[in-house]
Amino acid sequence: MSENSQPQNNSEEVDLGQLFKLIGNAFNRFFNFIASIFKGLFHLLLLFLLFIQKHFIKFVIAGVLGLGLGFYLDHLQGDRFESSMVVEPNFNSVQQLYNNINFYNELAEAKDSTALSKALGITEGEALTIKRVRADSYSDENQKVKLFSEFIKTLDTNTVEAIDYKSYLKNFNSLDARFHKITMISTDNRVAQKTQSTIVSSISRNTYFKLQKDISDRNINLKDSIYNKQLIEIDTLQKFYKSIEEKIASNPSQGTNINLADTKNNRNRELELLKQVDVLKENIVELNQERANKAKIINVISDFPTRGVKVRNVWKDYRFIGFIGFIGLTLIILLLIELNKFLKSYKASKMA
């Protein structure tokens, strides 16, 4: 048995040794492959640095020319100033607001200072300084949660069960936001504030929105009168229940002749009335808040500042664009020249 088992062990040891050798060779080839990649990258880096060294003066000249042209274009364009105001459109007037802002922006881009000056109520010279007008939704996560809560209140029970917050966010439109930011970019840092009243009044003059506001005011006043009337009625009932308790207390023997519940039931009714009073007071507070929010068709949350802020955007700076553009163009031209030389030498070597 021992003689037969010994050759088997030796063969197993040989197989394991070959296996470890194969694994070691595989790792060596893998590491050699990684090393060859780094060597190739290092070689390319050296070639690129040699290329830059060879044409360094050309790149410097291109960079200086790009900067010079950028300085000239920036001076020609002049400084630009950005001004923003935040508004809260009511009565579904947000779409009209965006339409008006897009109209102003089209006139500004077309440099139609005559039409823009009439639309914004400013001089033609001031209108010519306006370069861009845009509107963006202004809402954070808290505002979206509040809008979702208000949206849920308008739905029936079956519909509410089929809608969750995630599905609401997927269908959330920027026009659904409560607040919106209007931004104006101009070479005149004071022109934005001069246009504010016209931008707001252009929505407020709309007949449809004026009608919606009038109906809203009537509904709010009607609710207010109803709540106050209910408070007066509750106060009358409270006095009535109190007078009955006083009669029962003054004539205990005649208490059973009064066609009402006993004192305990009267107190329960008084507690219910107190709860209704609290509910009515909360409704009145909410109604006052609604009256304040809907006092105007467009509520201005934050005015245009008296002076705009200078726009500082390196990606739109002509000096940066000129510097990078000229160097990039020079690099492409030199690379094409080098490629052409290589192709000619390669063709010559093959023809020889």
Q: Nearest to residue 90, comparing CAs of 339, 345, 294?
A: 294
Residue 231 one-letter amino acid: L
pLDDT at 1 over 70: no
Most confidently predicted of 175-184, 195-204, 236-245, 251-260 = 195-204
Residue 138 has φ and ψ, to the nearest 5°, of -130, 85
Give residue limits of the domains in the chain.
2-74+323-351, 80-139+177-310
Most confidently predicted of 193-202, 227-236, 311-320 = 193-202
Burial of 179 (0-12, 13-18, 19+ CB in 10 A): middle
- Predicted local confidence at residue 348, as pLDDT: 80
Tens of pLDDT, residues 21-52: 788 888 888 888 898 999 999 999 998 899 89
Quick one: angle between helices 263-293 and 207-250, nearest 10? 160
